[in-house]
Amino acid sequence: MKPKILFFAAIIFCLSMCTTVEKYEWEDGEWIDLTYEFSDETLYWPTSSTFQFDTVFVGTTDAGFYYESYEFCTAEHGGTHLDAPIHFYENRKTVDQIEISQLAGRAAVVDVAEQVESDRDYQIQVADLTDWETVHGVIPDDAILLIHTGMGAYWPDAEQYLGTDKRGEEGAAELSFPGIHPDTARWLVENRSVKAVGLDTPSLDYGRSELFETHQILFEQNIPGFENVANLDRLPATGAFVIALPMKIKDGSGAPLRIVAHVRK
């Protein structure tokens, strides 16, 4: 075989092998839904409106065929949802401006459920991330950082999950759940390069926060947040691939989010 023919044959072989590996990666594994369904049980911030689902038509039409149709109304920030950077920082990305490439990537999953068990107002520390890195290596560039606090076990019990079942300003004043300490958010933006940050609580900041500094620090850098993420206890510390696609609301500060993870076997 001539050298030129041999060279091109080698390229074709390599390409076919790469294609096979990629196909195997996606087919041999498990898809895990990280999204809570939207219903009248969906939890929202105490001062937000809740999910409304109304019937337009259900039944057999005059023409003789079966038909169903509904309409819904919801706040941007409730249930499993995305916080766009504009939510807490002026002139940053809105929902529709976040590139799809920023909403998909390898996950780094940090477990702080033990710390939260003894303090439901726990704020995730830098040490929680560096301890994870001691075992699993440095959080990779372009990773999606997910933090499992264990609070998802209480969904959709408002009193257990939010710390209160009261609504309005009275409820907002009694919120109690874990979040990310501002110093940890600052460390992340200064020392690591993540695409997005998510956790299984109603907010990136802990429930008693008044200034929402973690939001401000991350959003200044156009790092979006995923809140009320489900089933984080089912993800390994490394090895999952996350896809998080929000409803594409033009100029939105947030949106309902369908987030899933693929875990290879």
Give residue limits of the domains in the chain. 29-49+76-264
pLDDT at 265: 80
Can you tell me the distance from the alpha carbon of 49 to that of 167, in angstroms, rounded to the nearest whole number?
A: 10
pLDDT at 78: 98
Spell out, as residue ranges, where the chain has pLDDT lower than 50. Answer: 1, 3-4, 6-11, 13-15, 17-22, 24
Can you tell me the distance from the alpha carbon of 174 to that of 105, in angstroms, rounded to the nearest whole number?
A: 35
Can you tell me the distance from the alpha carbon of 149 to that of 167, in angstroms, rounded to the nearest whole number?
A: 24
pTM over cut 0.75? yes
pLDDT at 22: 47
Can you tell me the distance from the alpha carbon of 30 to that of 261, in angstroms, rounded to the nearest whole number?
A: 8
Q: What confidence tens digit (pLDDT) does each residue in 93-123 have?
A: 999 999 999 999 999 999 999 999 999 999 9
What tokens appear for 68 in the block?
């169903």
Note the CATH number of domain 29-49+76-264.
3.50.30.50
Can you tell me the distance from the alpha carbon of 190 to that of 158, in angstroms, rounded to the nearest whole number?
A: 35
pLDDT at 28: 84
Q: What angle do CA 101, 106, 108 make, to 5 degrees?
A: 130
| Strand pairing class (104-111; 240-246) | antiparallel
